[in-house]
Amino acid sequence: MNLGQITRFVGAAGLIIFAGTLTAIAAPPAWVMKAAKADTPPLSHGAPAVVLFDETLVTIESDGDKTIRHRQVVRILNQSGRQFATGMVPYLEKEDDVTTTEAWVVRAGKEVSPKEKPMWIDMSAADDGAVFSEVRKRVVSYNDFALTDDVFAYETVSEGKLDLPQLGFSWVSMLPVIQETLTLQLPPGWAMQSMVDGPSASLLHTATGPQSWTWELIDRPYRPDEPSATEDARTDVRLMVTLSPPAKAPRGMWPVFRSWSDLSSWMVVLQDAQCDSTPALLNTTNQLATGNEDVVVKMRALSRYVQSLRYISFDKGISKGFGYRPRKASEVYEKGWGDCKAKANLLRSMLRTVGIESYMVSAHTSQGRQIVEGWPSPAQFNHAILAIKIDDSVDFPTVVNTPILGRLLFFDATNPDVLLGDLPTNLQGGKVHVVAPGSDALTPLPVLPAETHHLSNRQVNLELNANGSVTGECNYGGPGSSGAYYRRKIRSLSANDFQKNITERINGTVSGASIENLTTSDEPITGECRIKYRFSAPRFAQMMPGGLAVVRLDVLSRDTVPAFPAKERKLPIQLDSMILRDEVTLKLPPGFVVDELPDSAKFNSPYGHYESTYSVVDGSVVAHRMLRLEDRDVPVSEYAVLRKFLGDVAKADHSSVVLRKSD
């Protein structure tokens, strides 16, 4: 994390309350009372709360000192909105000072407060997996005290040093916002350049004064929680600022990134010295690679070793650029754990030992497709992967032929379930920065072919008894993202929990089913991971008068397919590539014949394709189904089209086979 990039999310989740004594807080200032008098606008319909006022002031001094003042006023609109009566300020431990933390509740035009006022609590702001981080935050919560129609306001001020001559801001909100303003003040002689993007960039109001710039966005709508929303669904505008100190400023005060090549040069210095080795590390590397003359076999052995290490983050020296510098490879090897950049760097060291060159790569775990080419900045990334230099003998869909560095095989050493030759779904299609001398542009990562990397093949063999009970065998899995999905489930669950999970899945479609002979297989070369088991259930066919039996063959759960029951939608949808191929064979009991088969079905839409067929072969009903979803972002205007397509698919899936006793 680079605290030069300030991204605020309005309406974070509620926080645990800690009560205690607190020194007296001044009465609400005029800006709080003025905002509290504002009417609740129509754009707040359905929202739990509304942001009446949000203001950030960033002041830069000539020596690089920065001060950030943040003010926010929120009106609680219903019971669930009480969770938004919270305040937060992030900071860097031992680098920043939080000088002001104040909060107020206004009820019926007057300040009110509990007998024991909530304290501002200091806690870690690091991601999960961090054993230590300098990134911290102070939070306060009045969500146990605030009532509907109350107004909650808070103000924070933090002071510190400017880490890089770049600042990033995002107007991001779940709640409706009446007014949100950012002001940047620079010392004499300083200049700045700015870029904006986002769906509401044209609505951003800009005002300038002497060494002052203000950006304002008003009347932002409510964006509720909705499934499968795009990563930037709540982002209206992103502002990217590059600062230029005067020529008389001390040389080397900050690195200057005029191009991606400049950024590469800076990061190469930070990272290359960390790619070291020791006799013990060399010995382990050689043991893993010994006897494997095939370069791909060597890469697989080394990559699996690094992926098996625990993911643990240890963030220190962030203000000095160490948020982008991995720990030494030798240290990661000795301790047996590391974060994304540490694991990528360790693999880089091991590959170098066996004569394979590679480069560190800056990526983003969720917003890689939104990386802005025109703003060379490390603040646009939050993840590190590896680019392995290979020749024409290595052929994977994760290989990109780059103009300067040649053929590069991209690999995520952090994800333990995605094998060499594959990429996590969330990285595919994103833009990355290869950290290498002369690397002067972003590199788009490929979206891997659905037929080979997003395919799940599923087979079910059923044997129906005359009394309506059934026994069966399920065998399903796939390569690529499907293999990673099942591999993660197998790895993360105990044997008992895994069996329970599989039992619950089959019971979602076959009531009362019990399973046995549960086995798994995992092919390390193709990445094919499969699950196989037998099951039985006392009631499967619906026995009807007149010797009829009704059977549905949609035995395997469709829980990996997104569902959209809501009639209306406010946020765009992100669809991932997916192909499901199902083959279900139902062996008929003696004395039964097929009375009616469902019609074949075929549906097409811009977002996918579906086919189903039913036939009778040698005394069995054989059903084939195929559903394909495309890698697409679905705008709200197309929601009805997607919903109709998936509704038609669900209806066809639930078709029934009618059997009858033969004469």
* Helix (H), strand (E), coil (C) string for 577-619: CEEEEEEEEEECCCCEEEEECCCCEEEEECCEEEEEEEEEECC
Residue 250 lies in a domain: no
Q: Which pLDDT score, from 0 to 100, does residue 94 have?
A: 84
Please report, rounded to a whole number, the percentage of residues in the chain having pLDDT higher than 70. 93
What pLDDT is attached to residue 128? 59
Structure confidence at residue 251 (pLDDT): 55
Say whether both 617 and 496 belong to one domain. yes
Residue with tokens 């020194």: 23
pLDDT tens digits for 136-189?
Answer: 899 999 999 999 999 999 999 999 998 889 999 999 999 999 999 999 999 999
Question: DSSP letter at 514?
Answer: E
Over 60: is that where the pLDDT of 648 sits?
yes
According to DSSP, the β-strands at 5-10 and 166-173 are: parallel
- What is the structure's pLDDT at 388? 98
Nearest to 97 by CA among 125, 66, 64: 66
pLDDT band at 645 (very low <50, low <70, confident <90, very high): very high
- CATH value at residue 284: 3.10.620.30
pLDDT at 18 over 70: no
pLDDT of residue 11: 33
Whether 15 maps to a domain, the answer reads yes
Mean pLDDT, range 343-364, rounded to an integer:
97
d(CA 3, CA 160): 10
Task: Specify which residues 403 forms β-bridges with.
Answer: none
Strand partners of residue 584: 460, 623
- Read off the pLDDT band of 247 (50, 70, 90): confident
- Please state the rounded mean pLDDT for residues 352-379: 96
Buried/exposed code over 216-235 (b: 16+ C-beta within 10 A; e: otherwise): bbeebbbbeebebbbbbbbb
User: What pLDDT is attached to residue 249?
Assistant: 65
Average pLDDT over residues 487-508: 94
What confidence score (pLDDT) does residue 409 get?
A: 98
Local confidence band at 558 (pLDDT 50, 70, 90 cut-offs): confident
Closest CA to 423 of 392, 397, 391, 395: 397
Same domain, yes or no: 174 and 30: yes
pLDDT above 90 coverage of the chain, percent: 82
* In a shared domain, residues 483 and 529: yes
Identify whether 267 is part of a domain: yes
Q: Is there a single domain that holds both residue 502 and residue 530?
A: yes
Among 383, 414, 448, residue at a domain's last position: 448
| Mean pLDDT on 27-55 | 93
- Determine the average pLDDT of the residues in 6-15: 31
Phi, psi angles (nearest 5°) of residue 492: -85, -15
**Total structural domains in the chain?**
3
pTM: 0.90
Task: Classify residue 347 as left (phi > 0), alpha (psi -120 to 50) or beta.
Answer: alpha
Per-residue pLDDT averaged across 523-534, rounded?
A: 94
pLDDT digits (tens, 9 = 90+) for 388-435: 999 999 999 999 999 999 999 999 999 999 999 999 999 999 999 999
Q: Is 412 found in the same domain as 492?
A: no
Name the β-bridge partners of 19: 118
One-letter amino acid identity for 419? L
Residues 352 and 474 in one domain: no
Instruction: Round the CA-based radius of gyration of the chain to a whole number and report it.
Output: 29
Question: Which CATH number do you get for residue 130?
Answer: 2.60.40.3140
Say whether pLDDT at 338 is over 60. Answer: yes
* Residue 459 and residue 487 in one domain: yes
pLDDT of residue 129: 54
Query: Is 255 within the bounds of a domain?
Result: no
| Digit-coded pLDDT (tens) for 281-327 | 999 999 999 877 899 999 999 999 999 999 987 665 444 554 789 99
Position 253 in a domain: no
How far is Cα 342 from Cα 331, in angstroms, rounded to an integer? Answer: 9
Strand partners, 462: 472, 586
In the structure, what pLDDT confidence band is assigned to residue 26 with cuts at 50, 70 and 90?
low
Rounded CA gap, 144 and 83, in Å? 8
| CA–CA distance, 516 with 522 (Å, rounded to integer) | 19
Residue 41 is classified by DSSP as P
Distance, in Å, from the CA atom of 165 to the CA atom of 243, rounded to the nearest integer, reads 5
What's the rounded mean pLDDT across residues 528-552? 94
HEC per residue, 352-420: HHCCCCEEEEEECCCCHHHCCCCCCCHHHCCEEEEEEECCCCCCCCCEEEECCCEEEEEECCCCCCCCC
Q: What is the pLDDT of residues 574-601, one digit of tens each?
A: 999 999 999 999 999 999 999 999 999 9
Query: For residue 498, what is the domain's CATH number?
Result: 2.60.120.1130
In the listed set 408, 431, 448, which residue is the last one of a domain according to the structure? 448
Of the candidates 143, 107, 84, which has an alpha carbon nearest to the alpha carbon of residue 33? 107
pLDDT at 130 over 60: no
Q: How far apart are CA 310 and CA 42, in angstroms?
A: 50
- Say whether pLDDT at 471 is over 90: yes
Range of the domain at 643: 451-661
Query: pLDDT value at position 119?
Result: 93
Could you tell me if residue 160 is inside a domain? Answer: yes
Q: Are residues 443 and 458 in the same domain?
A: no
Residue 460, φ and ψ in degrees, nearest 5: -135, 130
The torsion angles phi and psi of 415, rounded to 5 degrees, stand at -70, 115
Residue pair 617/662 in contact (Cβ under 8 Å)? The answer is no
Among residues 598, 583, 599, 618, the alpha carbon closest in space to that of 659 is found at 598
pLDDT digits (tens, 9 = 90+) for 595-634: 999 999 999 999 999 999 999 999 999 999 999 999 999 9
Element (H, E) at 39: none
Contacts of 114 (CB under 8 A, 6+ apart): 19, 142, 144, 145
| Domain co-membership, 419 together with 516 | no
More confident residue, 250 or 651: 651
Q: Share the mean pLDDT of the chain.
A: 90
β-strands 548-552, 620-629 pairing: unpaired
d(CA 557, CA 463): 19
CB 564 within 8 A of CB 646: yes
User: Sorting pLDDT into bands at 50, 70 and 90, what band is 557?
Assistant: confident
303 lies in the same domain as 354: yes
Mean pLDDT of 496-525: 94
Mean pLDDT of 271-276: 95
Instruction: Pick the last residue of a domain from 399, 421, 448.
Output: 448
Please check the confidence at residue 5 and state whether its pLDDT lies above 60. no
Residues 209-226: pLDDT tens digits?
Answer: 999 999 999 999 999 999
A 10 A CB-CB count for 449 gives 13
Phi and psi for 563 in degrees, rounded to 5? -120, 140
Interaxial angle between packed helices 340-353 and 295-307, expressed in degrees from 0 to 180 and rounded to the nearest 10: 150
Q: How far is CA 371 from CA 43, 168, 442, 556, 585, in A?
A: 30, 12, 9, 38, 47
Q: How confident is the model at residue 95 (pLDDT cuts 50, 70, 90)?
A: confident
Mean pLDDT in residue range 51-60? 97
Q: Is 305 in the same domain as 206?
A: no
Q: Is residue 254 part of a domain?
A: no
Question: 471 and 608 share a domain?
Answer: yes
Residue 26 lies in a domain: yes
